[in-house]
Amino acid sequence: MVKIRLKRLGYKKNPSYRIIAIDSRSKREGAPIEELGFYNPKSKEMKLNVERAKARLAQGAQASQTVMYLINNSNEDGSLNYKQKETKKLSKKAQAKLEAQKAQENNAQEAQA
């Protein structure tokens, strides 16, 4: 069975990946049937041959979860359509500080009214 998955490249703590079509029984770094593109998760840079990837899927290849996400969120030219999160996670201390500031503002507005 043919799978579309990531092949890890790069050195320690700095991964980059190639998106490849490979036999499911071979190793992660084994010889691929076809290279479809590359993906760098640190810089969110990606180049993917979307046409070939969809053709492989139509022939019966199975994509890993990550590769399926990349295919679905790619532009027509093969680059990643990356959306940054609008909300930021705050620590409990920062949340308490923010709530205290809001409470002070509300008290000040009520005093003026």
In a domain, 8, yes or no: yes
In a domain, 78, yes or no: no
In a domain, 56, yes or no: yes
Q: Taken in order 97, 101, 106, 107, is the CA torsion positive or negative?
A: positive
In a domain, 108, yes or no: no
Is the pLDDT at 3 greater than 90? The verdict is yes
In a domain, 91, yes or no: no
Residue 31 has a pLDDT of 86
Question: How far does Cα 48 stand from its chain's mean position?
Answer: 13
Residue 30 has a pLDDT of 81
Is the pLDDT at 83 greater than 80? The verdict is no
Residue 78 has a pLDDT of 86
> What total of structural domains would you count in the chain?
1
Is the pLDDT at 19 greater than 90? The verdict is yes
How many whole angstroms separate alpha carbon 107 and alpha carbon 103?
Answer: 6
CATH of the domain at 9: 3.30.1320.10
In a domain, 77, yes or no: no
Locate 48 and state its tokens.
Answer: 């993917």
In a domain, 95, yes or no: no
Locate 16 and state its tokens.
Answer: 């980059």
| Backbone torsion region of residue 65, taken as left when φ is above 0, otherwise alpha when ψ lies between -120 and 50, otherwise beta | alpha
91 secondary structure, DSSP code? -
Range of the domain at 65: 2-72
Give the tens place of pLDDT for each residue, 29-82: 788 899 999 999 998 899 999 999 999 999 999 999 999 999 998 888 888 887
Report yes or no: 2 and 18 within 8 Å, Cβ to Cβ: no
Average of per-residue pLDDT values in the chain: 89
In a domain, 90, yes or no: no
